[in-house]
């Protein structure tokens, strides 16, 4: 269970205070497939960074399985993040001078304690997750030889390396055409259904949000729909329309692989 209570986040620039999150309450049950949607600048990515333990400078509380993340020290939070969370971004963040196998094995470099793998075990694990994303034949390929969809699959394999309980994805289909985005979405569904991985995806893509089992809408730093209540919401519940959700201008969603992405989302 992931639980946010009264989470607020502010940025101060040139004596101007910008409140990006305004007392957010959110609960996510294990094994959920959740989309977080909203216009650019609404606070989606900021909330994702807090969920992923990338940002600890906030007010309120974030608990995971009853553990308060801000109660953890720097080393503990780093270990928690590396052992429990996989990250997938719009940009693939592959190292061009390394093979796919080497890119996927990178999490082993940062492992500590019982999670440390020797070189042979790390290679075996990398081959295993590349097979899961249907890239067994690309282990020795360099990133520049791959298509966009293949690069994103390598990034997903890297996120799977440490067998995460939670995958956090920020616009994972933003750089892909619609057919490739469909294939990546099918892969996310498979990971969620077959491995029970909790998936939280920030997206502008209507196809992605419609495929998720739950949609959380955020508007001007506040959740206006889909926050859940004490973990009681059904995974298959269809989100209800919210009169509070009224985009000021422009569409809330864009077709897969099209449109611009806000830097402050």
> Domain-by-domain residue ranges, the chain?
2-94+164-225
Given a cut of 70, whether residue 236 has pLDDT beyond it is no
Average pLDDT score, the chain: 84
Does domain 2-94+164-225 sit in CATH 3.40.50.300? yes
Confidence at residue 250, expressed as pLDDT on a 0 to 100 scale: 36
Quick: pLDDT tens for 100-149: 999 999 998 877 655 678 889 999 999 999 999 999 999 999 999 999 99
C-alpha angle 112/124/96, rounded to 5°?
80
Quick: pLDDT tens for 6-18: 999 998 888 888 8
Given a cut of 80, whether residue 264 has pLDDT beyond it is no
Quick: pLDDT tens for 60-110: 999 998 889 989 999 899 888 988 999 999 899 999 999 999 999 999 887
Alpha-carbon 79 to chain mean position = 18
In b/e form, how buried is each residue of 198-236, taking b as 16+ CB within 10 angstroms?
Answer: bbbbbbbbbbbbebbbbbbbbbebbbbbbbbeeeebeee
């Amino acid at each position: 269970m992931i639980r946010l209570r009264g989470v607020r986040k502010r940025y101060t620039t040139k004596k101007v205070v910008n409140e990006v999150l305004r007392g957010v309450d959110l609960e996510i049950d294990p094994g959920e497939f959740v989309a977080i949607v909203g216009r650019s600048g609404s606070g989606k990515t900021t909330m994702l960074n807090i969920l992923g333990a990338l940002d600890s400078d906030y007010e309120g509380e974030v608990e995971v399985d009853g553990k308060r993340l801000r109660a953890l020290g720097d080393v503990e939070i780093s270990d928690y993040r590396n052992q429990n969370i996989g990250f997938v971004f719009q940009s693939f963040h592959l190292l061009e001078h390394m093979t796919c196998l080497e890119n996927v094995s990178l999490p082993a470099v940062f492992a500590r304690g019982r999670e440390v793998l020797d070189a042979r075990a790390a290679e075996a694990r990398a081959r295993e997750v590349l097979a899961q994303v249907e890239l067994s034949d690309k282990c020795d390929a360099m990133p520049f030889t791959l298509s966009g969809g293949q690069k994103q699959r390598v990034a997903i394999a890297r996120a799977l390396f440490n067998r995460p309980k939670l995958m956090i994805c920020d616009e994972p289909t933003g750089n892909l055409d619609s057919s490739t985005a469909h294939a990546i979405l099918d892969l996310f569904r498979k990971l969620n259904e077959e491995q029970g991985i909790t998936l939280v995806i920030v997206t502008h893509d209507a196809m992605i949000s419609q495929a998720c089992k739950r949609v959380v809408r955020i508007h001007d730093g506040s959740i206006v729909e889909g926050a859940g209540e004490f973990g009681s919401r059904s995974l298959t519940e269809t989100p209800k329309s919210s009169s509070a959700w009224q985009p000021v201008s422009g569409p809330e969603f864009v077709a897969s692989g099209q449109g611009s992405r806000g830097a402050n989302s």
